[in-house]
Structure 1
Amino acid sequence: MQRIIILGSTGSIGTQALDVIKANPTRFEVVGLSAGSNRELLAEQAAEYNVDDTAVGAAEAEQLVRDVDADVVLNGITGSVGLGPTLAALTAGRTLALANKESLIVGGDLVKALAAPGQIVPVDSEHSAIAQALRSGTADEVRRLVLTASGGPFRGRSRAEMANVTPREALAHPTWDMGLVITTNSATLVNKGLEIIEAHLLFDVPYDRIDVVVHPQSLIHSMVEFIDGSTIAQASPPNMRLPISLGLDWPNRVAAVGVPIDWTTPHTWTFEPLDDTAFPAVELAKQVGRARGTYPAVFNASNEQAVLAFHAGRIGYLDIVDTVQRVVEAHETQGELTLDSLAEAERWARASADTIIDAIGH
């Protein structure tokens, strides 16, 4: 029996995790729940799953992780506020099922220094796919990681053709139903850039050996290329319950969490190179990742500000990544990486982004 704490239990990842747990009551037990602000749904969940220990907000979630005995902490919090709970889970020796990619990306070396080998299990579909594929060989046999991207709603468009896209168009993702920031990040491919940094930190593969390929059907979730020329891919219909279930009991699989591909019907899967001119966020993210320190935090925070400004009608779509690039280029990491230096870097990045956004005056 795996004892599970779910952080962000009222969000998409959290509610799907509870579905998996409900279907497997002899395998999983919920011992703690936290929500960002939805107290009503949190109370309903606590009653349904007979959970005494709950928390609201990131600070309370961090304390919950410290106080409650558990085997696995599923961090489904949105944004870099999830860093504190991530560090708490690692310090407490829990297995960390990580859906909150921002905490690893922003925390970088702080997170890596605390994590024991195998303690972090990725829940992002791309990184779960890579983790599954990596079981086919040793670390020395890995030649390249290949993350797949749907291409978002603007796949195939040139930069000029995206100049006047609207917030509504940016939220029309062809595959996944997600929140405002992450859906917009999928349109700009900022999300794929963040995933490259996450892949580097999770699997210790250099940035020049991590690639992105556009796969519109979203059935292959990522691939690992080995030194003998073999490529191992993980394929399944889009369904987050599969990587969530693996996160709850890695490396063991949970029966019937997803429906397999129907091989009795015809399929056509296509792959396209990424257009770095139209979608510069991926290469920018690699530069940020190589710079380390507080640069990933600045990248993430300035992007969040720019996305919100875009949806508020203050800047255009192309201004999002342009703003992030200008903030990153103006940044200089100061001193040792600490929670305080990360918080200061994020404050500086948001203020800098706001100054640029105000000057654009869209």
Structure 2
Amino acid sequence: MIDPDKVSRLTASDAGSEASSSSDPQRVTVLGSTGSIGRQTLEVLRLFPERFTVSALTCGSNVDLLVQQAREFQPSCVAVGNPAYVESCREQLAGTGIRVLAGPEGVCEGASQPADVVMAAILGFAGLEPVLAAIETGARIALANKETMVVAGDLVNRALDASGSTMIPVDSEHSAIFQCLAGETFGSVEEVILTASGGPFRQRPKHSFDQITKEEALDHPNWDMGAKITIDSATLMNKGLEVIEARWLFDLSPEEIRVLVHPQSIVHSMVAFSDGSIKAELGVPDMKVPIQYALTYPDRWPAPYERLDWTATASLDFEMPDTDRFPCLRLAYDALRQGGTAPAVLNAANEVAVELFLNEQIPFTLIPELIEEAMQNVAGPGVDSLDALKEVDAEARRVTKELTQPTAD
């Protein structure tokens, strides 16, 4: 059951509410500004030039785009995670007065810059340490990196408690749940219902899964996302990661989190209450809506995003997910119930397997097989520090890669 003291981490403090309503511009840091969520965040900021300023921007290696963004938004600093691209960035920004920070340490320093809101949009495990650095500043965290809570939910929640920082989920599903919980009381929630589009292979026969190509898997029917999350949607691992994220965001048991396939992606998620009523948040598939909500909470600002056309919405369909064809969802529930380091291993193995698939080194069907084997070989009791989590993550990646190597005769 949802504990209101724990969910309070997800609600804006009085200071955060005043900042949202104040006439002073809010300072925003965007971690992963060159990725899909980062770019869309900047699109939102462009709509409100009088109400936002940019404190810092970070990227992995796409320095050409980062430089364009920096020249437009004039942050005090930028950070490049891959040291090999730092000098190019420095040369292009010479004379602008914008500091260029280098490597993972530089990204964490960028995350620590004074800001009112930090958009956490760095993909994968790499996003965890910058999020922890941002939390220490007391800024509001707009969390678009689900892996942060998957691998270190307890660690992150303790950091939020210690710093007084607050967190608003950006994933459309968790944003929907957050909105449905507004004004509700402790003990009233029966379960939360995460919706999934079902991905591009919802109706594809299982016997043909070994013939799935990268191009087919990247062709999502509803959402425009980055490559990794699009593959996760195709395997339903994205929904599995969201189940684990929901456990830590909303203090739920696995039994209180249900997944339903909803092909239209109009209902973003639902909350069922003890009196039998259900709240749902609906809208067209557009990540800029939950992004803006996380930036402006508790206010809603008028914006020109597409409205839902009820005359064109002929039906809203729901069905149970097929974990036989999509075992990644089952594996995520297994990891959540197992606890300890199992979710961290699940995430690391999935990141490696998806990369191998995108590089056309393994077939689509091998993704869940590698994850399950890694969980059987690596997962153990929980860890209590970032360094220990890094060791588990590295070991899970090593084992997953070794599983794809041919054995000696």
TM-score range, shorter chain: over 0.9
Counterpart for residue 105 of structure 1: 150
Q: Which amino acid in 1 is paired with 2:212?
A: V
**Residue in structure 2 matching 1:52, options 76, 101, 116:** 76
Distance 1:94 1:292 in 2: 29
- Which is further off, 158-167 or 33-42? 158-167
Q: Does 1:41 align with 2:61?
A: no
- Residue matched to 2:56: 32
The amino acid of 2:227's aligned partner reads L
Asked if 1:70 is matched to 2:70, the reply is: no
Counterpart in the other structure of 1:232: 279
SS in 2 for 1:19: helix
CA drift of 1:256 comes to: 1.3
Q: Choose 274-283 or 290-299, whichever is displaced more.
A: 290-299
Q: CA deviation at 1:22?
A: 1.3
Tell me the residue number matched to 2:31: 7
The alignment's TM-score, normalised by the length of structure 1, stands at: 0.94
Q: CA deviation at 1:84?
A: 0.9
Aligned to 2:263: 216
CA offsets, 1:167-194, max 9 Å, x none?
A: 2211111111222221111100011100
Cα distance, 1:251 vs structure 2: 2.2
Within 5 A, what are the aligned runs for 1:128-277? 128-277=175-324
From 161, 173, 183, the counterpart of 1:126: 173
The residue identity in structure 1 corresponding to 2:252 is V
Match of 1:79 in 2: 124
Counterpart residue identity of residue 248, structure 1 = L
Shift of the 40–253 alpha-carbon distance from structure 1 to 2, 3 Å rule, reads same
Instruction: After the TM superposition, list the runs of 4 or more consecutive aligned residues in structure 1 that deviate by more than 4 angstroms.
Output: none
SS in 1 for 2:34: coil
SS of residue in 2 equivalent to 1:115? helix
Distance in 1 separating the partners of 2:312 and 2:110? 48
Counterpart amino acid of residue 56 in structure 1: V
Shift of 1:310: 2.2
Q: Is the 8 A contact 1:223 1:232 kept in 2?
A: yes
CA displacement at 1:335 relative to structure 2: 6.5
State the Cα distance separating 1:360 from its structure 2 match: 9.0
Summarize deviations over 1:220-245 as a string: whole Å, max 9, x none: 11111111111111000011110000
Query: Is 2:403 the counterpart of 1:356?
Result: yes
Structure 2 segments unaligned to the other structure (5+ residues): 1-24, 82-103
Deviates more, 1:249-258 or 1:78-87: 249-258
Deviation at 1:118, TM superposition (A): 7.5
**Aligned-partner Cα distance in 2 for 1:227–1:243:** 27
**Could you tell me which of 113, 125, 135 is aligned with 1:90?**
135
CA-to-aligned-CA distance 1:138-190 (integer Å, 9 cap, x gap): 23111011000000011023432323212221111111122222111110001
Sequence identity of aligned pairs in percent?
Answer: 44
SS at match of 2:149: helix
- Alpha-carbon contact 2:244-2:332 (below 8 Å) kept: yes
* Equivalences, count: 360
Greater shift, 305-314 or 82-91, is seen at 305-314
Give me the CA root mean square deviation: 1.8
**Structure 1 Cα separation of the partners of residues 344 and 311 of structure 2:** 46
- Structure 1 CA distance for aligned equivalents of residues 186 and 203 of structure 2: 35
Deviation string, structure 1 residues 176-221 (Cα, Å, up to 9, x no partner): 1222221111100011100000011101111111011000011111
Stretch deviating more after TM superposition (30-39 or 255-264): 255-264
> In the superposition, relative to structure 1, how do residues 86 and 186 fare at CA in structure 2: closer, same or farther (>3 Å)?
same
Query: Contact 2:136/2:165 (CA < 8 Å) preserved in 1?
Result: no
**Change in 2 beyond 3 A, CA 1:337/1:25:** same
Matches of 1:335 and 1:226, distance apart in 2: 32
Indicate the SS of the match to 2:302.
coil
AA partner of residue 13 (structure 1): I
Cα offset for 1:100?
1.1
> 1:317–1:302: structure 2 CA closer, same or farther, 3 Å change rule?
same
